[in-house]
Amino acid sequence: MKNKVLVIDDNPEQVDFIKLVLEKDNYDIRAASDGKAGLALARSFKPDLILLDIMMPVEDGFAACKELKADANLKTVPVLIMTAIGDCLTDSNYAAEQGLELDSEEYLTKPINPDVLRAKVKELLAD
């Protein structure tokens, strides 16, 4: 059975890139373009892994991650954060100002290296 991966990212080129990289490993991949749509799709698709962008319209990745981890049916699904603001994720001043609490398993900084992406996805799905 194929592992199911949900990509939540508002950049269509980024989504296409991720699909291109991961489809080689035979994953069932679905995508949503914002956090709110991503949460709805996560509830129906029941993914094995979620790749989540931070900066998105409607609902950003911080809010989406918090909601995912609060959902009894999704809280054990690993979340891999993808962001261009990687340095800010560990900056406590930034996090405090934004009220940000991320309970993700891992994060990658954009631009994403395809080999690193594939390795992280395999690692998270193996747990």
Q: What is the CATH number of the domain that holds 9?
A: 3.40.50.2300
Q: What is the pTM of this model?
A: 0.87
Determine, yes or no, domain membership for 64.
yes
State the total domains in the chain. 1
For residue 87, give its domain range. Answer: 4-121
Q: Residue 50 carries which DSSP code? A: E
58: left (phi over 0), alpha (psi -120 to 50) or beta: left
d(C-alpha 4, C-alpha 101), whole Å? 25
Tens of each residue's pLDDT in the chain, 127 residues: 799 999 999 999 999 999 999 998 999 999 999 999 999 999 999 999 999 998 888 888 888 988 999 999 999 999 998 877 655 555 544 444 444 456 777 778 888 999 999 999 999 999 6
